[in-house]
């Protein structure tokens, strides 16, 4: 205690003599307890959840986390990266929050805690829009299926490769996955239906979804497991407030009809 007092007066004395601008001192004492800026990782590009429009990062995830942070009074900094890198970056202490249309799965729950669900999704099988031979998983024998690393679609594809007899091509982002099918390198892809529907509707992609939905899951906002209870509570409280006050609906409606 005594030591602290001495240290404080020493700092004050140094500040007074070494600093000719009093305002500078006021700023630096505020900076001694800086507000934490939480680092949020999102996918590179995953419209309508995160994408760049007119040079700005926008999307449902982006608007939602900004609104939650505002509601709860914390600061964030959003970083884009390969989706498969988000949880590893959290584990390495480089991110506090993971988003990116991230589905809540039991496997991920081994390393992260999820917020309450904020969006219902699920994986669809997708082929070229002029493809008349593939109508479901049963038609994939001997075909090439492209998936995106680290996704629910990729693990679904992995689990079912023997049963349906297709081979797998892995890429790291959705745009490449779409391209592999439109240019004929792959026969089919697996992507979350809200994302592929949005891409087909807005990007004029020559793709179509076929068959039954392959999985049903929900998106959640993730934090590193057991280490961020306070942050997770703020996220859940903020999300509940936005649902309550209509802002959540406004954000969704801004991107989806
Ligand atoms: N929802 C899927 C998952 O969590 C895909 C996410 C993504 O590609 N950004 O694995």
CATH number at residue 71: 3.40.190.10
Both 234 and 182 in one domain: the answer is no
Residue 189 tokens, joined:
């892809």
Both 113 and 225 in one domain: the answer is yes
Q: What is the pTM for the complete model shown?
A: 0.86
Could you read off the pLDDT of 145-170 as tens digits, one per residue? 999 999 999 999 999 999 999 999 99
Can you tell me which atom of ligand 1 is nearest the CA of 148? 8
Ligand 1 mean position, distance from CA 152 (Å): 6
Provide the mean pLDDT of the chain: 89
Provide the Cα torsion 146, 152, 252, 239; round to 10°.
Answer: -160
93 alpha carbon, distance to own chain's centre = 17
Ligand 1 mean position, distance from CA 163 (Å): 23
Both 137 and 245 in one domain: the answer is no
* pLDDT above 90: percentage of residues in the chain: 85
Both 198 and 242 in one domain: the answer is no
pLDDT band per the 50, 70, 90 thresholds, residue 257: confident
**107, 114, 112: which is closest to 225 by C-alpha?**
112
Average pLDDT of the residues in 222-235? 96
**100, 28, 96: which is closest to 62 by C-alpha?**
100
Pocket residue to mutate for ligand 1, from 148, 170, 174, 198, most atoms within 8 A of Cβ: 148
| Statement: residue 10 has pLDDT above 70 | no
139 in a structural domain: yes
Residue 65 tokens, joined:
């986390």
| Statement: residue 16 has pLDDT above 60 | no
Average pLDDT of the residues in 19-36? 44
Average pLDDT of the residues in 173-190? 97
Are 178 and 205 in contact by the 8 Å Cβ rule? The answer is yes
Domain that holds residue 83: 37-120+218-255
Can you tell me which atom of ligand 1 is nearest the CA of 103? 4
Both 113 and 127 in one domain: the answer is no
Ligand 1 mean position, distance from CA 22 (Å): 51
pLDDT of residue 34: 54
| Statement: residue 53 has pLDDT above 60 | yes
pLDDT of residue 21: 39
List pocket residues of ligand 1, CB cut-off 6 Å. 43, 46, 83, 100-103, 121, 148, 151-152, 192
231 in a structural domain: yes
Average pLDDT of the residues in 130-159? 98
Coil/strand/helix, residue 32 = coil
Ligand 1 mean position, distance from CA 83 (Å): 7
Average pLDDT of the residues in 114-126? 98
Instruction: Report the domain count for the chain.
Output: 2
28 in a structural domain: no
Average pLDDT of the residues in 98-121? 98
| Statement: residue 26 has pLDDT above 50 | no
Ligand 1 mean position, distance from CA 127 (Å): 19
25 in a structural domain: no
Ligand 1 mean position, distance from CA 170 (Å): 14
- Higher-confidence residue of 254 and 35: namely 254
pLDDT band per the 50, 70, 90 thresholds, residue 24: very low
Are 156 and 149 in contact by the 8 Å Cβ rule? The answer is no
Can you tell me which atom of ligand 1 is nearest the CA of 49? 9
Both 127 and 206 in one domain: the answer is yes
Ligand 1 mean position, distance from CA 8 (Å): 50
3 in a structural domain: no
6 in a structural domain: no
23 in a structural domain: no
* pLDDT above 70: percentage of residues in the chain: 87
241 in a structural domain: yes
pLDDT of residue 203: 87
Pocket residue to mutate for ligand 1, from 45, 83, 104, 126, most atoms within 8 A of Cβ: 83
């Amino acid at each position: 205690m005594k030591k602290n007092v001495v240290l404080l007066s020493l700092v004050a004395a140094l500040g007074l003599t070494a600093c000719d601008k009093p305002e500078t001192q006021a700023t630096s004492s505020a900076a001694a307890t800086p507000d934490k800026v939480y680092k949020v990782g999102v996918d590179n590009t995953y419209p309508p959840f995160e994408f760049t429009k007119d040079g700005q990062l926008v999307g449902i995830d982006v608007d939602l986390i900004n609104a939650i942070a505002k509601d709860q009074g914390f600061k964030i900094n959003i970083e884009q990266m390969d989706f498969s890198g988000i949880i590893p970056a959290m584990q390495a202490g480089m991110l506090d929050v993971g988003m990116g249309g991230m589905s809540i799965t039991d496997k991920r729950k081994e390393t992260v805690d999820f917020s309450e669900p904020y969006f219902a999704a699920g994986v669809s099988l997708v082929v070229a829009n002029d493809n008349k031979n593939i109508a479901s998983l049963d038609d994939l024998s001997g075909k090439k299926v492209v998936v995106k690393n680290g996704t629910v679609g990729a693990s679904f594809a992995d689990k079912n490769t023997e049963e349906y007899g297709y081979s797998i091509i892995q890429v790291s982002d959705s745009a490449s996955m779409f391209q592999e099918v439109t240019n004929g390198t792959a026969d089919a892809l697996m992507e979350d239906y809200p994302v592929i529907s949005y891409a087909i509707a807005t990007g004029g992609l020559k793709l179509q979804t076929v068959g039954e939905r392959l999985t049903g899951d929900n998106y959640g906002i993730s934090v590193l497991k057991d280490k961020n209870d306070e942050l997770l509570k703020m996220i859940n409280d903020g999300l509940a407030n936005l649902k309550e006050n209509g802002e959540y609906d406004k954000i969704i409606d801004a991107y989806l009809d």
